[in-house]
Amino acid sequence: MVEKVITLENVSLLDFLGVENKNINEVASAFPQSKIVSRGNEIRIKGSTTEILKINDILNSLIDHYHKYGKVTEENVQNYLSEIAEVKLTDEEEVLVYGTKGFIIKPKTINQQKLVYAVKEQDLVFAVGPAGTGKTYISVALAVKALKNKQVKKIIITRPAVEAGETLGFLPGDLKEKLDPYLRPIYDALYDMVPSEKLKYYMENNIIEIAPLAYMRGRTLNNAFILLDEAQNTTPMQIKMFLTRMGPNSKVIVTGDISQIDLPPRQKSGLIESMGILKDIKGIGFIELSGKDVVRHKLVREIISAYDDADNTNKQ
């Protein structure tokens, strides 16, 4: 590993590094394979030459920003990180899966990349963020990659069957047919990543299993990549039941959007409660995506931002 030292001159450390070094920690989290340590007015970087050059460019940009505006915020750091994201994410090693339609599936934002690294390092990861940030899609891609590389023997994907303004009882068909619309985004992602005939084989032989959360009760899930999607709609008992299904050699990703909870008004979200309870346990990763990670139509990002602004105004 190579080491580089950057000395901060004529800089207020609090205004540059942020409270409890949050700004520099944000840079460090974007480069988990390198080590970035701040001591006094020195920032020490250890890592590969390629990464050190990128980190050096970002820190110099932030220093220039500080001298121009007198302060560096977390949002400023995210903006500078985003500028180098496209370059950083073009590396071949970042490819997760080659899609069935010929396109490459890989992380497109810094926070999506953080999710990929977190899953490499941790066996249980919570990924929370608004619609369109790719948290489910990237999670499915990671599961497919693990299966193709024979790191796991099966994929299990589940969602709570919570009605979002609709009533299951009035929908036609048996239970599976009633629940399939809730699981449709999962099917769509899988069809992008696995050829249809192979996917059919996997599902007929329970190598890939998609089921409502209630079907997980009483099981121990070994040698599997397990995804709990839409976890904001679980109750505390449901998510505890799910998390305790985890067996040896398994990876678990829990995704959710805490701004879209469809539970009854007085029902506590299991996702929110579990993240609070488990936050200090080593071996569990927590990734938060934001409107900046939206990879759908550009208007989606603006819509999310407008709703966030309206929520903040109503709370005041």
Interval 164-223: pLDDT, tens: 434 445 445 555 565 667 678 888 899 999 999 999 999 999 999 988 888 888 888 899
Check: pTM over 0.75? Answer yes or no.
no
- Record the tokens describing residue 250, joined without a space: 């398994």
Average pLDDT over residues 17-26: 88
For the cut 80, the answer to whether the pLDDT of residue 86 exceeds it is no
Let me know: does 117 contact 245? Beta carbons within 8 Å: no
pLDDT of residue 266: 85
Amino acid at 42: E
Most confident of 152-161, 178-187, 270-279: 270-279
In this structure, the number of other CB atoms found within 10 A of the CB of residue 161 comes to 18
Question: What is the enclosing helix (H) or strand (E) of 158?
Answer: strand 154-159
Assigned architecture for domain 2-88 = 2-Layer Sandwich (3.30)
pLDDT in tens, 220-241: 889 999 999 999 999 999 999 9
Most confident of 106-115, 127-136, 174-183: 127-136
For the cut 70, the answer to whether the pLDDT of residue 43 exceeds it is yes
Query: For the chain, what is the mean pLDDT?
Result: 84
List where CATH 3.40.50.300 sits in the chain: 95-315
List where CATH 3.30.1370.10 sits in the chain: 2-88
**What is the distance, to the nearest Å, from the Cα of residue 110 to the centroid of all Cα atoms in its chain?**
10
Average pLDDT over residues 148-169: 75
Q: Tell me if residue 186 falls in helix, strand or coil.
A: helix
Cα(260)–Cα(278) distance, integer angstroms: 22
Reported CATH class of domain 95-315: alpha beta
Let me know: does 41 contact 11? Beta carbons within 8 Å: yes
For the cut 60, the answer to whether the pLDDT of residue 91 exceeds it is no
